[in-house]
Amino acid sequence: MTDREQYTPGPPSGAQVRKDGEQWTLILVRELRHSPEKVWQALTDPAHLREWAPFEADGSLGAVGTVKLTWVGTPTPLETRVTQADAPKVLEYNDTRWELEASGGGTRLTLWQNLHRRFISWGAAGWHICFDVLDHLLKGTPIGRIAGGEAMQFEGWQRLNAEYAKQFGIEEPKWPPQVAQES
């Protein structure tokens, strides 16, 4: 049995939301047993991103400038402006901010991402799995990216989605998302 076949996401942890109307900010914190420099490389290098992130980049995210991100399951790349790249501490682009802090011989990785409240538990569940995959990659035991529709079919995602929805005090979103009908 491979590491991927044995992988099961753990319980929801290190997550909170900040609310501003319909715009919510998902905040996820993960302790990693790897140096900030090693984590920074995984957050910015396109070859590393392809192994764990829910998107691919056509260039490094490690410098201020423009890159194109192609999110898993979407055919069209999105032009993305890296507005802050202070290695290995802060990375910011579009509606996403990463902070890396040396902690106990490793790194405390914090992600802030603005999401519509309808997708906040999905985002939490998806990033939770991506962080697990990232940790495996950094340990040298890669299990391959699990993102987008594949993540939603992955055992454990539905459980995480429901548990994060409960933790955040929101109704669990249904798939596919329902579009409100105006009368």
Residue ranges of domains in the chain: 3-168
Q: Report cis status (omega within 30 of 0) of the bond before 88.
A: yes
Which two three-digit tokens encode residue 125? 């569940």
Q: What is the pTM of this model?
A: 0.90
Percent of the chain topping pLDDT 90: 78
Cα separation of the two ends of the chain = 53
Rounded CA gap, 102 and 99, in Å? 10
Which DSSP category does 10 fall into? -
Asked: is 3-168 a CATH 3.30.70.100 domain? The reply is no
**Torsion sign over Cα 57, 146, 160, 34:** negative
Q: pLDDT > 70: what percent of the chain?
A: 92
**Residue 153 pLDDT grade (very low, low, confident, very high; cuts 50, 70, 90):** confident
